[in-house]
Amino acid sequence: MKKTVLHDNHVKLGAKMVEFAGYHMPISYTSITEEHMAVRDRAGVFDVSHMGEIVIIGEKATDFVDYVFTNNVRSMTANQVLYGMFCEADGGVVDDLLVYKINDEHYYLVVNASNIDKDLTWLHKNNRFGVDIIDQSDATSEIAVQGPFAESMLQKATDYDLSTLRFFTFDDMVVYDHDVMVSRTGYTGEDGVEIYGSHEAIKDIFERLLADNERLTPCGLGCRDTLRFEVALPLYGNELSHDITPIMAGYGFAVSFDKGDFIGKDVLKKQKDDKPSRRVVGLEMVDKGILRHGYAVYSGERQVGHITTGYIAPTTGESVAMALVDRAHAKKGNELEVAIRKRRVKVKVRNKKFYDKNTKQ
């Protein structure tokens, strides 16, 4: 199993470690709920070094990224970040990712750890633009600092004026004497940053941020999932997959049809115009229990979908879930049932945003 540069720090901090995407990663240090609330109320730091970083360089880099990515790359300015997907011709999602534009001939793609190899194969297969595709995942470490105090904590470690770093932009800066790249992005629904750098730089920044900020909480992958879930951010493999297109999942904002050809465009456009056959919706529990990924959703005796992610939302205490259901049953207020082990419980369709984001828009 692979280890990130922060592995020994996690163990020393008493983390419960699990295997995730081939890495030995912390699931939590104290408790998922405590870490979750630390990010909502103060700030938390996450090791996300397992994420993949792929660099695209070439004269036709813009043409290439615009062709493989669902969102509008030509509209991007330098130092901007854009969220979107790689899709197959049938609209199925290969991966969801962030695209960082360095300049017209240079892009930085941040992809899911479990999809790095698949993404690379797919990018090479579709490289009819002669660009260089460079996997920098093993040479790059990454931490995320998230929460209302994230900016002020990081500000103490850099001369760069972070108040000028707008949501979904990035810049190079010096943090605790290290040259790193910082973006105002995250996966929690809170304000915050993600920091990319060499292994040595990230290890030192992680340690010094924790030493200098008593109210900064080390956070594991457990609360990373509950945080993104509450604000309806998708997880690849749950809300997006080879079978679940961005249109079905309700992330049409990340698919731009006002641009040239891109892989999957025709199918996704048709799906948007005709309305998709299935949709990702929010569900709330009417009875008791917790809705888990994979549980079947029923209308009477007919299975009409499945749970993609479910929890007792730590911030609100509600037992809620996201589920992929047939469109006929996707209307808000509609009552459905879910099979939990030997029981059937009643659930109700609702908006899937269980908690409002506090990001700096």
Which residues in this chain contact another protein in the complex, by CB under 8 A? 16, 27-28, 31-33, 222, 226, 288-290, 292, 311-312, 314, 340-341, 343
Question: Alpha-carbon distance 261 to 27, whole Å?
Answer: 40
Residue 335's CB is within 10 A of a number of other CB atoms, namely 11
Whose Cβ is closer to another protein: residue 206's or residue 311's?
311
Rounded Cα distance, 174 and 201, in Å: 10
Q: How far is the CB of 277 from another protein (least distance, A)?
A: 30
Specify the residue, 21 or 102, whose C-beta has the smaller distance to another protein.
21
> What type of residue sits at position 125?
K
Which helix or strand (DSSP H or E) is residue 68 part of? helix 61-68
Residues 6+ apart with CB under 8 A from 360: 166, 167, 184, 191
Q: Which is nearer to another protein, 182 or 297 (CB)?
A: 297
3-state secondary structure of 199: helix
**DSSP string covering 264-329, please?**
THHHHHHHHHH--SEEEEEEEESSSS---TT-EEEETTEEEEEEEEEEE-TTT--EEEEEEEEGGG
Q: Which is nearer to another protein, 18 or 120 (CB)?
A: 18
Closer residue to another protein (CB): 52 or 314:
314
What is the spatial distance between Cα 234 and Cα 228, in angstroms, rounded to a whole number? 7
Question: Minimal distance in Å, beta carbon 316 to another protein?
Answer: 13
**What is the closest distance, in whole angstroms, from the C-beta atom of residue 227 to another protein in the complex?**
12
Q: Which residues contact 322 (CB under 8 A, 6 or more apart)?
A: 229, 232, 238, 239, 280, 281, 282, 283, 307, 308, 309, 310, 352
Measured from the CB of residue 288, what is the shortest distance to another protein in angstroms?
7
CB of 165 to another protein, least distance (A): 32
Could you tell me the smallest distance in angstroms from the CB atom of residue 33 to another protein? 6
**Shortest distance, position 292 Cβ to another protein, whole Å:** 6
Pick the closer one to another protein by CB: 91 or 218: 218
Task: Compute the distance between CA of residue 185 and CA of residue 197 in angstroms, rounded to an integer.
Answer: 15
Q: Which residue number, 184 or 224, has a Cβ lying nearer to another protein? A: 224
What's the CA gap between 199 and 347, in Å, rounded? 46
Q: How far is the CB of 335 from another protein (least distance, A)?
A: 21
Contact 67, 61 (CB under 8 A): no
Nearer Cβ to another protein (102/312): 312
Say which amino acid occupies 233.
Answer: L
Name which of 237 and 289 has its Cβ closer to another protein: 289
For residue 31, the minimal CB distance to another protein (Å) is 5
The answer to whether 282 touches 350, Cβ cutoff 8 Å, is yes
